[in-house]
Structure 1
Amino acid sequence: MQADSNTSGGVLLSAIFSGRMLIAALMGFACGLPLLLTGSVLQAWMHGEGVDLATIGLFAFVGLPYTLKFLWAPLVDRYTPRLLGRRRGWLLLAQLALIASLVLLAFTRPALSPFSVGVAALLVTFFSASQDIVVDAYRRESLADAEQGLGASLYVNGYRVGMILASGGGLILADHLPFSVVYLIMAAIMGIGLVTTVMAPEPEASEGKPATLREAVVAPFVEYFQRNDALAILLFILLYKIGDSMAAHMTTPFYLDIGFTKTEIGAVVKLFGFWATLAGGLLGGVLILRLGIYRALLGFGLLQGLSTAGFAVLALTGNSLGWLAGVIAFENLSGGMGTAAYIAFMASLTNKRFTATQYALLSSLMGVPRVIAAAPTGVLAEWLGWIGFFSLCALIAIPGLQLLVRLHGRGSMQRREASC
């Protein structure tokens, strides 16, 4: 037993410190960096240039490529660039185009031509979403099934570091440098992604690729919906983090309403919470290796529900920094763990012949609760009060977990449980 434990621990450590995991983290960083450069950072630039709020609000539409990326994902599965192979070749092209788009955005003038800013920002999001497509496919194909959870956690942590560097670091730099220079610096930092792409090995296409473009477009849907419980699994993807997403949408008004200052929210929720989320993602990846995907999804889902209920407790205790820190630590740890299992599960659903297309579809579906379920949260909070609202969000986690148990009982999860 002791020898088995030592062997298991050695395998775990070798997986954590492998080059494959470093690549997953660095690729996550490259994917997270551009996200807020067309969001909060661009909004700050436009506001400082005197662009009216109505125009700034319309720039939300430049984020559409992240939702619609499944439309061109079949091209990534079907065709292979001449340089570096199918995955790294597309990744290199997307990253070069993304860097060029950031440079183009740096030389626009928001006050003089918001339209040109919009075109450049749309190019950034298109090539950023394209990079996401290829990175997701690369991670699925380069990691063993048992490594998907840990790889997902390191990818997500790298992604969050990239977001923080671009948003927090970008805004701090903008206090000392023109925004145009800030964007040029961020374009240069994207060179980390280029180096990673060139140095990383091309994953083996063990199951081949679509022979025609029609097959690349149609076959991923046909293959998926021929499986047992295909619709039930899609429903589970929609439900698993729905309560978590609903609660997260109203947390800032909640903090302000019970008396926390903006400084306290920034220090505890954003800074302290960021490190708790990173820790949760890493812990989740390690535990998935130990527990398997089914038990991880179930356990982390229960923790997510309990952590959401923690906000109801905070509503009872009121303005207490100690309680706030405790609730944020619990919520971000469990949320990071749940996200790692969630992404690993979606990766396990993809057929390696159509990885890019199927994962793009599933990840687009993953974003639906953030938009649709979040819309009525303000009305619910006003109607139920904060305690009732967060209690409801905690209870909403139950149907997804019940569906997970049912799927496992019918055998739909067993293959993934055994492999992950």
Structure 2
Amino acid sequence: MTSIDNNSLQRVSMLSLSVVIVLYLAHALPLYFYNVALPAILRHQGVDLRWIGMLSLLYIPWAFKFFWAPLIDRIYIKKLGKRKTWLLFTQIALVLGVLVLAFTQFSYGLTVFVVVGLWISTFAATQDIAIDGYTVETFSESEYRLGSMAQSIGVALGSMLGGAVTLWLYQYYGWETALICLAAMTALTMFAIFQIKEKTDEHIAKQPPSLIRAFKRPEILWALALIFSYRIVEAPAMAMLSPMLIDQKWSLAQIGVLMSVLGAGVGLLAAISAAFLLKKVEATQLLIWAGWSRTVLYGLLGLAILLGWLNHWHVLLGVFVIAFLAIRYIAMTSLYAYFMQNSSKQQAGTDFTILVCFELLIYFIGGASSGFLAKALGYGQFYIVLTIASFISILLSIVIIKLSKKHISTTGNIGKNA
């Protein structure tokens, strides 16, 4: 009997893990179209770096979705389920948005393009609230590393399909075909929603979910400080990779394969490795290790550009990009495991969303400024400046982690499940 129960639990756990992977894939598809494919397409058409950097502003809904996160935790159709209600609604809206983008193209002007982009971004952000809440509610605290790994795997697959495949389709078949295929891929992920097994009764909040309750908890405040210190440097470095590849005469197909096939494959391995390491070390410790690796890599890339190595060894830039992505996925898996540890199950969507929103806000600010900095300094000096900034960032992050542990151990883990 015990063996049967254990096998049943294992199957449920694997099903939950698979569902979470597909759900994160669903919202990553349009996200990585904008993040990977579109910057390369625009740079290929000769668009200025400053405008490409400003694409990050389309993600403003992601930075402010915490304002409506309590509503997603609170309002739903009981017959459908707390998370399934919003997942179905937002998925339909995403498919429609991508189809509209496919048929409007660029010929309808910048206004239509921006409005549709904000539509897609808003519903993808809202969907992410429900996915994050479902993940925190589904996994036990000891399994958070697996939930974080599933999230990273879903994002990596979304990068591969939304980035590389869409770029390849655009280059050989044009905008309309590429976007229709993206909409079809997004629609297919909807099948995972019907496999959700919610545990709504276990996580009914004693009080209505609210932002005030979240910000009263010291764990959330310390996490926000760590996010600011750690992520402010990473965004500019990542935002300029695609434009730099174009300027180094890489084709769109090559960039797609590099960043969203090889990169996603490395990302999958990095996420699985990070989940394994998180069984042995704390999430914050792994995050710091990734931060030091990031700092060294920025410095090496800056020197390689200034010394002209990239002109002699064309493939060297690709090696740097793959290393960047591997470190990023390790850091992302560690950071999201840390977010889950600090989110209350009573308002999981709200707490996790606050942390993700602040992370994205910092990331988008850095991304929006990256084009201006790279154009003013040149790529080489740009990455040297980021090396120094990253060194300071990691030192500050270490101080924040030590202070947060000291404070929480002194005051007690108050309100974790409040």
Q: Provide TM-score, normalisation by structure 2.
A: 0.78
Task: Please state how far the C-alpha of 1:281 moved relative to its aligned partner.
Answer: 1.8
Aligned to 2:3: none
2:395 to 395, 398, 408: 398
2:131 to 128, 135, 141: 135
Measure the CA separation in 2 of the matches of 1:56 and 1:250.
Answer: 9
Paired residue secondary structure (1:400):
helix
Measure the CA separation in 1 of the matches of 2:34 and 2:316.
Answer: 35
Paired residues of 1:317 and 1:323 also in contact (CA < 8 A): no
Matched, 1:200 2:196: yes
Amino acid of the structure 1 residue aligned with 2:398: L
Paired residues of 2:298 and 2:386 also in contact (CA < 8 A): yes
Give the gaps of 5 or more residues in structure 1.
1-9
Larger mean Cα displacement after TM superposition, 200-209 or 279-288: 200-209
1:262 to 250, 253, 259: 250
Amino acid of the structure 1 residue aligned with 2:331: G
1:225 to 200, 215, 225: 215
Paired residues of 1:102 and 1:183 also in contact (CA < 8 A): yes
Aligned to 1:71: 67
Measure the CA separation in 2 of the matches of 1:78 and 1:409.
Answer: 34
Task: Please state how far the C-alpha of 1:242 moved relative to its aligned partner.
Answer: 3.1
Task: Please state how far the C-alpha of 1:341 moved relative to its aligned partner.
Answer: 0.6
Aligned to 2:289: 299
Provide closer, same or farther for how the CA distance between residues 40 and 229 of structure 1 changes in structure 2, counting only shifts above 3 A.
Answer: closer
Matched, 1:93 2:89: yes
Task: Please state how far the C-alpha of 1:363 moved relative to its aligned partner.
Answer: 1.0
Larger mean Cα displacement after TM superposition, 57-66 or 198-207: 57-66
Paired residues of 2:301 and 2:380 also in contact (CA < 8 A): no
Paired residues of 2:161 and 2:260 also in contact (CA < 8 A): no
Give the gaps of 5 or more residues in structure 2.
1-5
Amino acid of the structure 2 residue aligned with 1:358: D
Provide closer, same or farther for how the CA distance between residues 123 and 272 of structure 1 changes in structure 2, counting only shifts above 3 A.
Answer: closer
Amino acid of the structure 2 residue aligned with 1:346: F
Matched, 1:111 2:107: yes
Paired residues of 2:302 and 2:381 also in contact (CA < 8 A): no
2:347 to 348, 354, 360: 354
Amino acid of the structure 2 residue aligned with 1:191: A
Task: Please state how far the C-alpha of 1:192 moved relative to its aligned partner.
Answer: 3.0
1:100-179 equivalence runs, <5 A: 100-108=96-104, 110-112=106-108, 115-177=111-173, 179=175
Measure the CA separation in 1 of the matches of 2:44 and 2:201.
Answer: 49
Larger mean Cα displacement after TM superposition, 327-336 or 19-28: 327-336
Larger mean Cα displacement after TM superposition, 53-62 or 274-283: 53-62
Measure the CA separation in 2 of the matches of 1:337 and 1:15.
Answer: 27
Provide closer, same or farther for how the CA distance between residues 141 and 321 of structure 1 changes in structure 2, counting only shifts above 3 A.
Answer: same
Provide closer, same or farther for how the CA distance between residues 177 and 404 of structure 1 changes in structure 2, counting only shifts above 3 A.
Answer: same
Measure the CA separation in 2 of the matches of 1:384 and 1:98.
Answer: 39
Paired residues of 1:15 and 1:21 also in contact (CA < 8 A): no
Provide closer, same or farther for how the CA distance between residues 249 and 141 of structure 1 changes in structure 2, counting only shifts above 3 A.
Answer: same
Amino acid of the structure 1 residue aligned with 2:211: P
Task: Please state how far the C-alpha of 1:207 moved relative to its aligned partner.
Answer: 3.3
Task: Please state how far the C-alpha of 1:287 moved relative to its aligned partner.
Answer: 1.3
Measure the CA separation in 2 of the matches of 1:384 and 1:173.
Answer: 32
Larger mean Cα displacement after TM superposition, 226-235 or 22-31: 226-235
Provide closer, same or farther for how the CA distance between residues 58 and 403 of structure 1 changes in structure 2, counting only shifts above 3 A.
Answer: closer
Paired residues of 1:69 and 1:129 also in contact (CA < 8 A): yes
Paired residue secondary structure (2:346):
coil
Task: Please state how far the C-alpha of 1:351 moved relative to its aligned partner.
Answer: 1.6
Paired residue secondary structure (1:74):
helix
Larger mean Cα displacement after TM superposition, 396-405 or 307-316: 307-316
1:266-345 equivalence runs, <5 A: 266=255, 272-312=262-302, 314-315=304-305, 318-319=309-310, 320=313, 324=317, 327-345=320-338
Paired residue secondary structure (2:205):
coil
Measure the CA separation in 1 of the matches of 2:319 and 2:173.
Answer: 37
Please give the per-residue CA displacement for 1:337-385, whole angstroms capped at 9, x wherever unaligned: 1110101111222222222222222111102332434537448956993
Q: Provide TM-score, normalisation by structure 1.
A: 0.77
Provide closer, same or farther for how the CA distance between residues 388 and 166 of structure 1 changes in structure 2, counting only shifts above 3 A.
Answer: closer
Task: Please state how far the C-alpha of 1:78 moved relative to its aligned partner.
Answer: 1.0
Please give the per-residue CA displacement for 1:301-346, whole angstroms capped at 9, x wherever unaligned: 3333344344356456833468656644544322211110101111
Please give the per-residue CA displacement for 1:200-253, whole angstroms capped at 9, x wherever unaligned: 211344231376xxx43xx332x2333346533321121123333343345567
